[in-house]
């Protein structure tokens, strides 16, 4: 299996924000993590990426604890927020820098970026602007394209649709679907957009106050069921 969350607990100020008894994610699954503000989605992702440590329990990535061994970094790509970018670089400089971490030459990076022409919609490359001066949506695009440069086996995206225009949301969904079928990419996406998440994900995990309330495979009724749940 790709991931296993075991007796994972995290509290802040005496309040439990993540409490996951046992969760298994298999290779090739596209998981949508949904839940109202403060449900614990980002905290869960931050523990998965070893940005924060759980109070107890562990997360195994390919059977190895992410907090004690960093092998997972070789096959895991993520974009949680602008903190993953380098503000004072242009997107080109940033892509070349990230490419160099994965042994890609400048030519390799340029070749890689060709496939993002449509996704970037002419707004990212050759603008002579620093990343800090881009809109949040365009910063998202830079972060997502950079994350995918390493041809990951596992992709973690925190609210990727939030600041994207509808055209780009649709392109991102097709891209994730394509990577799932060509590379068996495993993806975890948190989102407040029930429409997108039921469209792109084959499994939905619903968190409430850090606890998994529902965990199901998507079908034609999933969107209605989720909408009904959140309407209560
Ligand atoms: N560093 C921190 N210190 C104190 N409380 C924190 C910290 N990080 C998160 N929390 C709290 O933990 C809870 C879960 O937050 P988290 O960001 O994981 O939720 P989320 O599901 O991602 O929410 P959103 O949909 O609003 O992004 C919230 O109540 C939040 O205030």
- What value does the mean pLDDT of the chain take? 96
pLDDT at 119 over 90: yes
Query: Where does the pLDDT of residue 51 fall: very low under 50, low under 70, confident under 90, or very high at 90 and above?
Result: very high
* Structural domains of the chain, with CATH: 1-75+153-232 (3.40.50.300), 86-151 (no CATH)
**C-alpha pair distances (Å), 217 with each of 19, 132, 135, 204:** 21, 39, 34, 6
Average pLDDT over residues 158-169: 94
Q: Mutate which of 8, 10, 12, 197 to test ligand 1's pocket (most atoms within 8 Å of Cβ)?
A: 12
30-46: average pLDDT: 97
Q: Which residues of 25-59 are buried (b: 16+ CB within 10 A; e: fewer)?
A: beeebbbbbbbeeebbbbbbbbbbbbeeebeebbb
Mean pLDDT value across residues 42-52: 98
Q: Residue with the nearest Cα to atom 16 of ligand 1?
A: 40
Tokens standing for residue 108: 């390799």
Q: What is the tens place of the pLDDT at every residue in 191-232?
A: 999 999 999 999 999 999 999 999 999 999 999 999 999 998
Distance between the two ends of the chain, CA-based, in angstroms? 35
| Nearest alpha carbon, ligand 1 atom 17 | 42
Q: Among the atoms of ligand 1, which is closest to the Cα of residue 159?
A: 27
Average pLDDT over residues 171-180: 94
Instruction: Judge whether residue 67 has pLDDT over 90.
Output: yes
Q: What is the pLDDT of residue 232?
A: 80
**Is residue 83 predicted with pLDDT exceeding 90?**
yes
Answer yes or no: is pLDDT of 55 > 90.
yes
Q: Give the residues surrounding ligand 1 with Cβ less than 6 Å away.
A: 12, 17, 35, 37-43
Centroid of ligand 1 to alpha carbon of 33 (angstroms): 14
């Amino acid at each position: 299996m790709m991931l296993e969350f075991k007796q994972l607990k995290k509290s802040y100020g005496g309040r439990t924000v993540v409490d996951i008894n046992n969760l298994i994610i298999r290779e090739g699954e596209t998981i949508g993590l949904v839940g109202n503000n403060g449900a614990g989605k980002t905290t869960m992702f931050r523990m998965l990426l070893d940005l924060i440590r759980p109070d107890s329990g562990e997360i195994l990535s390919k059977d190895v604890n992410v907090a004690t061994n960093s092998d997972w970094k070789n096959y895991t790509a993520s974009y949680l927020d602008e903190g993953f970018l380098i503000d004072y670089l242009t997107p080109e400089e940033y892509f070349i820098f990230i490419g160099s971490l994965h042994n890609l030459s400048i030519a390799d990076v340029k070749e890689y970026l060709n496939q993002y022409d449509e996704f970037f919609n002419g707004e990212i490359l050759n603008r002579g602007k620093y990343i800090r001066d881009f809109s949040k949506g365009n910063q998202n695009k830079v972060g997502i394209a950079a994350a995918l440069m390493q041809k990951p086996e596992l992709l973690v995206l925190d609210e990727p649709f939030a600041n994207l225009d509808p055209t780009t949301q649709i392109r991102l969904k097709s891209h994730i679907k394509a990577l799932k079928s060509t590379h068996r990419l495993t993806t975890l996406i948190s989102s407040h957009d029930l429409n997108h998440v039921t469209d792109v994900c084959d499994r939905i995990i619903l968190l409430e106050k850090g606890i998994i309330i529902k965990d199901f495979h998507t079908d034609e009724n999933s969107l209605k069921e989720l909408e009904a749940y959140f309407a209560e």
